[in-house]
Structure 1
Amino acid sequence: METVEIKAFVPARDFDLSKAFYTDLGFEVAFSDDSLAYLKAGECAFLLQRFHVKEHAENFMMHMLVADVDAWWRHVDATGLAEKYGVRALPPQDQPWAIRDFVLFDPTGVMWRIGTNIDRNAVESLP
């Protein structure tokens, strides 16, 4: 019972705008047609779908573990991604669950937590 991959279907209110957002974030569009796009960054991938139900989209969350969260944040900040797409982005912070992450919302309202594992002992010593 070997597994190979699991991918989420991420909703998009404006499919073309969302594809542009994810490309600017650092994903590559490996495949796209009129209703579905396969987006990849390294070994991480998801399917962007031309589908939108407000309540679903605004409660949809993704988590991506990266090697260097601060490098990803610098990219988001330097490219003005939040301003360009009118979305919210909150800078990285160390979390009590031993991840340093930042929060980024896409143009549909999907929340992403992008983070790096950190030493649990260092987190436990935080005030």
Structure 2
Amino acid sequence: MDKKHQFKSVRSFLGAKNFNESRKFYKELGFSEVVLSENMSLFKIDEKLSFYLQKAYVKDWVDNSMLFLEVGNLEEYLTELKSKKLTEKFSNVRLSEIVINEWGKEFFLHDPSGILWHFGNFKN
């Protein structure tokens, strides 16, 4: 890759079956929302980590959307997510336990539309 450019971020576009429910879910998850229009918001973890949520639903697209977020302390983050009781507050939300893999460990969270989030960390 050409090193003369200063790359600042990469952002995915996600769809939502129920846009307002998904917006509420991501705010509850801990993301901050920047409303861009009535059909799109930017959800930020920090200044470099964010994604766009769209008021758009294409089943095949959403069913095949996955994101991986690397987390420093995976066990602590899973405990925090469990305390938010997201699976009780939102329909179709599922949260797994930690899985150990050859490359590291991860757990999974499905958002209200079915988008699969992988939260994990890699072996050193």
Same fold (TM over 0.5): yes
Aligned-pair CA distance for 1:56: 0.9
Q: Normalised by the size of structure 2, how large is the TM-score?
A: 0.87
Partner of 2:100: 94
What TM-score, normalized to structure 1? 0.85
Identity of aligned residues (%): 26
Following superposition, the deviation at residue 20 of structure 1 comes to 0.6
Indicate which of 25, 41, 61 corresponds to 2:29: 25
Matches within 5 A, 1:1-127: 1-42=5-46, 43-86=48-91, 87-98=93-104, 100-119=105-124
The CA deviation at 1:116 is: 1.9
What is the CA distance between 1:23 and its match in structure 2?
0.8
Relative to 1, partners in 2 of residues 1:30 and 1:71: Cα closer, same or farther, differing over 3 Å?
Answer: farther
> Are the equivalent residues in 1 in contact too, given 2:31–2:44 (CA < 8 A)?
yes
User: In the TM superposition, what whole-angstrom CA distance separates every residue of 1:40-87 from its partner, at most 9, and x where no partner exists?
Assistant: 113310000111011110111011112211222112111111121131
Instruction: Assess if the C-alpha contact under 8 Å between 1:12 and 1:108 holds in 2.
Output: yes
State the alpha-carbon separation in 2 of the partners of residues 31 and 117 from structure 1: 33
The one-letter code of the counterpart of 1:53 is V
Could you say what secondary structure the match of 2:97 adopts? strand
Q: Structure 1's 32 and 16: CA in aligned 2 closer, same or farther, altered over 3 A? A: farther
Structure 2 regions of 5+ residues with no counterpart? none
Q: CA RMSD in A?
A: 1.4
CA contact (8 A) 1:60 1:110 kept: yes
Q: Give the total of aligned pairs.
A: 118
1:76–1:82 contact (8 Å) kept in structure 2: no
**Following TM superposition, by how much is the alpha carbon of 1:32 offset from its aligned partner in structure 2, in angstroms?**
3.9
Three-state SS of the structure 2 residue aligned to 1:29 is strand
